[in-house]
Amino acid sequence: MIRAGIIGATGYAGAELVRILSGHPDAEISAVGSVSYEGKPLSGAYPAYYRLCDKICENEKDVIKKSDIVFAALPSGLSQKIAQECFCAGKFFIDMGADFRFKRENDYRRWYHGKFIFPELHEKAAYGLPELFRENIKGSRLVANPGCYATAVSLALAPALESGLISPDGIIADCSSGVTGSGRKITQNTHFPELNESMTAYKAGCHRHTPEMEQTLSTVSGKETHITFVPHLIPVSRGILATCYAKLKPGVTMEQLRNAYEKRYGREFFIRLLPDGCTADIKNVRLSNFCDISLHIDSHTKTLIAVSAIDNMVKGAAGQAMQNMNLMLGLDEKAGLTSLPPAF
């Protein structure tokens, strides 16, 4: 069995990774790490895991020693030194934060106010969006797990850009996310009286996932691509709905769009291209690693409307991390991730 360790196991993404990894046929959780709960059982932070995962939370060095692959479910800025330690020890490493997502250090400096501590390590990192960059992930020892919004938006738009069916300029991504995307630490806007019966935009035009989306879409299209991104917080626990708008090239039809998406995603298990007339809905992907995509055309303005739905804690975080682990270690890519979404 592959020994998998999780640093930051008491955050939402880390706890979700514990839940999903517990059902993996070829891996076992070797150790869990947490600063705030060190020396205490994980089930003390999450009673749902009582008698199912009562592992004692340890420090990061002990987690690394006991593991073949290490997941860091930490805030941005905390993973680079851990990654270096894992790399020197011959361990595989998946960063669920943003430390290794950018090709250009200037982007990381501008949006995350950090620097590349080990530049050579960044050159070795693969960007872990399997449906677009699978071959880069296979066999890599260091993978940057994408952001949740970046996953939903990139998957919604990539085939249309790749095929040259839409303009790379003037793209708008209007996204709504469940509150788990804000992390476990409460803030005023995630406080129940503020969040309940509410919907609000935040970080409009200045969200940190914007350059990540632009980097991915520019790579796919082969042209510099810019995007206007506005996220919204909605009163649900999990899920992201990304409604993306892009100008169609002259004469582009729905048939051409569907052919492009079928060509790119037709064999992808975790992407479900919905039939005409259906619209992606977060309730249909809840607790799963699926991304549902629906395509629509506004014939009046010649605009593509691509809608994607993911569970931000699974395909947007822990599930995608495990999908990357499977690819890195030569396992069945779907291993441990084939559970059906709940029907209601």
17: Cα separation from own chain's centroid: 12
Tell me which of 148, 175, 244, 291 is the catalytic residue: 148
SS3 143: strand
HSE-up of 202 (CA within 13 Å, CB side)?
18
SS3 261: helix
Tell me whether strands 92-95 and 69-72 are parallel, antiparallel or unpaired: parallel
Alpha helix segments (H runs only) across 147-235: 148-162, 192-195, 209-221
The DSSP 8-state label assigned to residue 108 in this structure reads: H
315 is written with which tokens? 């395909």
The end-to-end CA distance of the chain, in Å, is 34
Angle at 139 between CA 133 and CA 142, to 5 degrees: 80
Reply yes or no on whether 148 is catalytic: yes
HSE-up of 147 (CA within 13 Å, CB side)?
26
Compute CA distances 131 → 45, 90, 169, 223, 267, whole Å.
34, 27, 23, 20, 10
- The residues annotated as belonging to the active site are 148
